[in-house]
Amino acid sequence: MKSNTEKNMGKRPLDGVLVLEFCQYLSGPSAGLRLADLGARVIKIENPGKGDLCRILPIKNQWVGDDSLLFHTINRNKESFTANLKSPEELAEIKNLVGKADVLIHNFRPGVMDKLGLGYETVKEINPKLIFAEISGYGSKGPWAKKPGQDLLLQAMSGLMYSSGNQKDAPTPFGLAIGDMLCGAQMVQGILAALVSRNKTGKGAKLELSLLESLLDFQFELLTTYFASGKRPLRSAVNNAHPLLGAPYGIYATSDSHLAIAMIPLADLNAAIGGEKLEDFDQSQVFSHRDEIKSILAEHFKQKSTDHWLGKLRENGLWAMDVKNWKELKQERGYQEMQLEQEVRLPDGKSILTNRCPIRIDGKRMLSEKPAPELGADTEKIKAAFNLFEIQS
């Protein structure tokens, strides 16, 4: 399925860029993963004996060797260097490595890197060209700085839970660690911008991101509406999919599964599906009478199968889709032709299947079979490669 050319696509955009990852769990490591996909050499700096705590985070008891499957999904193609940062000798080795790095990323609690002797002001003196990027929950200063920066708690804090579910439902989490993922992606954006700037100016930079800011940025449509009106957009009472969009936008049960309906003019929808009761409404009422229209549609769509309705809607060029599970998705020819999966080879000869990097460059997919590193597996090799025994004064 994957050609050797794609597996070894030659020079990648970040080839030669050295990234030190002082991160655990999801937000920071997901940024390191994408930088590695783009060609950077990413070295995880881990605590001896424990390492990234995601190594022992169980996801339905799925493990690969001694580490969790989740750890493997976001730490492939990296190296692991263990160091006790409370040891002056080992901290000196790390500072030596910092002097050779291009990027340092961390998602420790505010103040931790300073206590370890690796805060921005310290490392900037070692390496003025270093790009120092940090993720926190709520920012490094202010009254919220010490709040726990965990994704579900940030979803609760940010108001995001009032965009999913129906109007009378309890606050509904997104269902993924969306704050972690968004913040990790935005860290990559900031690092790429800083690398471009450094190429022009020769100067490094300090990047600061927080889960709260990422989740608020994610809600820019809803928040801008709230800023203008002073009122929180309300979820539909039934079939909610987006609190700012009127009927028919939503998910509807059919006689055998579910159907997603996007933005469709009511008259066009009525003509396609023969919903006589919709004739009492015009396009100007899709928001003022949103719940009534959706309730009528919900009863109407239950009468026939998803394939029946899709046929009617697609004959008229209207936007609709069946709601697929992952098994159904994987069987689709379009999914298969996009080659969205890749195998990661494990040291014992087995492999795990995971997603590939979603970016293509010059038509080539960026794939890598290199697994997540065992704790400390690369320490001695890295010490030798970077002459870390030559301690900086």
Catalytic residues: 242
Taking the C-alpha atoms of residue 116 and residue 200, their distance in angstroms, rounded to an integer, is 31
Q: What is the CA radius of gyration of the chain?
A: 25
Taking the C-alpha atoms of residue 76 and residue 188, their distance in angstroms, rounded to an integer, is 17
Q: What angle (nearest 5°) sits at the alpha carbon of residue 379, between those of residues 374 and 381?
A: 110
Single-letter code of the amino acid located at 126: I
Asked if 51 and 205 count as a contact pair (C-beta separation under 8 A), the reply is no
State the alpha helices, DSSP H only, in the chain: 4-7, 27-37, 69-75, 88-98, 112-115, 120-126, 151-158, 178-201, 211-218, 220-229, 266-273, 290-301, 306-315, 326-330, 333-338, 379-385
Reduced to 3 states, what is the DSSP secondary structure of residue 185?
Answer: helix
Nearest to 106 by CA among 88, 95, 91, 119: 119
